[in-house]
Amino acid sequence: MPSDSAASPSVLKATASSLVLRNVAHGANDLYWFILPPVLPLVLREFGLGYAQAGGMMAVFLSVIALASMLTGRLSDRVRRGSLIAAGFLLASAAVGGAALMPLLPLVVGCLVIAGVGVSTYHPAAYASIHDSGRGNGRTFGAFEASGSLAVILMLAVQGILARSAGWRGLIVVGALPGALMGLFLLLVPRVSPWDQPAPAPPRQTLRRSGPLLPALFLVAVMLRVLGTNALQSFVPTYLVRAVGMGQSVASFAVGFIFLGGMCGAMIMGRLADRRGSLPVFLLCSGLLVPLLPLMGLHLPPAAYPAVLVLVGFCNSACLPSQNMILGLVSGTRAKGSVFGILMGATALTSAASPLAFGLIADAAGLVTAVRACAVPVAAGWVLMVVIRRRLSSCSGEIARPAANA
């Protein structure tokens, strides 16, 4: 495959516009994933819900996304990905709009279930298209992940401005609006989408001889990291208010600090993965999370907690480009939409379960202990990666070394 430097200006322009469109669409899709947490206090007040009921509401939404991702990932290998993504955006936006109109909580949850199916269409198809187009390198994956973090930060800022006047119904419509516009754009503009580029010939080095065990072990390591980091992310505002004594106005920005660090981590460490190899970067960043997470459970000066959250977000999102590069290689010649659909399904299910696990520990032993316990699954995932590192390296030198076309 020719290098970027040898490509014609028209090819470079088309490639750049495709990357921009793919990343903007990623940001629009990620808004759905985080559409509930900012408005949850308002939902609790209107419907008189308890914390367990509220957590169950989020768990249902994320579980539907998880299960549907495994199906839509397989579907993306069989149909035109651009059409599937456009339909997903429109379905999710229509369902969120319907939820905003529903007077009863069961009807709201029912609309969110439908929205979850639409939300599930994007990530498996997008990850697969990046890999299949031959641009599955750290720089591309890093910019892709950073676009999602940037969109969530912007949404949190807009919702903070509109919170008093719009109510939770108006706020979720605002969060779904970019997706609706993206779906209409993809449906009405007749051109080849960045998700439907023809795939190049498969690389020489794949993990065909590894069988399903190695990808499965790698996926378990990823899920363990998600279990710990997502549990902290879900409860960090509550922890800062109740255990640290921080004001509500400051604590509400806690998730924003995580995403700010994540945006920088994905872009910087994605580029480093191209130069140093995806496996070393993944091991470094996931390993740094192990001492970072317990810091949140220490008695620190108030100004130190945002700094720790930025570092946690940096290291966690820094794992994502390398994670996607490794999975693309260890899956060998398997259909990439199905592979990344399994990844999204497994991590979404873990994200749905992590707040429940955190809550059980917090009820039994306190918030501080629960925060410190977040490091346990992350450490277990890192140890598992160290154990399978030799097998990963022996199966494909491209994991340990930068790819030739990165």
Residue 51's pLDDT is 67
Residue 195's pLDDT is 66
Q: What is the DSSP string of 308-345?
A: HHHHHHHHHHHHHHHHHHHHHHHTTTS-HHHHHHHHHH
pLDDT averaged over the chain? 82
CB hemisphere CA count around 194 (13 angstroms): 24
* 148 contacts 26 by C-beta, under 8 angstroms: yes
Residue 132 in this model has a pLDDT that exceeds 80: no
* 98 contacts 128 by C-beta, under 8 angstroms: no
Q: Report the pLDDT averaged over residues 49-62.
A: 78
Which comes out higher in pLDDT, residue 52 or 82? Answer: 82
pLDDT one-digit tens code per residue, 8-49: 444 444 466 777 888 899 999 999 988 887 777 778 788 887
* 277 contacts 402 by C-beta, under 8 angstroms: yes
pLDDT one-digit tens code per residue, 173-217: 988 999 999 999 988 875 656 666 554 444 444 444 456 788 889
pLDDT one-digit tens code per residue, 283-324: 999 999 999 999 998 888 888 999 999 999 999 999 999 988
Whether residue 8 is contained in a domain is answered as no
Residue 54's pLDDT is 75
Asked which of 117-131, 226-240, 324-338 is least confident by mean pLDDT, the reply is 324-338
List the CATH number of the domain containing 170. 1.20.1250.20
Q: How many domains does the chain have?
A: 1
Whether residue 389 is contained in a domain is answered as yes
Residue 404 in this model has a pLDDT that exceeds 50: no
CB hemisphere CA count around 145 (13 angstroms): 33
Asked which of 101-110, 129-138, 152-161 is least confident by mean pLDDT, the reply is 129-138
Whether residue 378 is contained in a domain is answered as yes
Q: What angle do CA 113, 21, 97 make, to 5 degrees?
A: 30
CA distance 203 to 214: 19
Residue 48's pLDDT is 84
Whether residue 171 is contained in a domain is answered as yes
**Structural domain of 17:** 13-400
Q: Report the pLDDT averaged over residues 166-177.
A: 88
Residue 102's pLDDT is 93
pTM of the model: 0.78
Residue 166 in this model has a pLDDT that exceeds 50: yes
Residue 78's pLDDT is 85
Residue 201's pLDDT is 45
Q: Report the pLDDT averaged over residues 210-239.
A: 86
Whether residue 73 is contained in a domain is answered as yes
Whether residue 149 is contained in a domain is answered as yes
For residue 112, name the pLDDT band (cuts at 50, 70, 90): very high
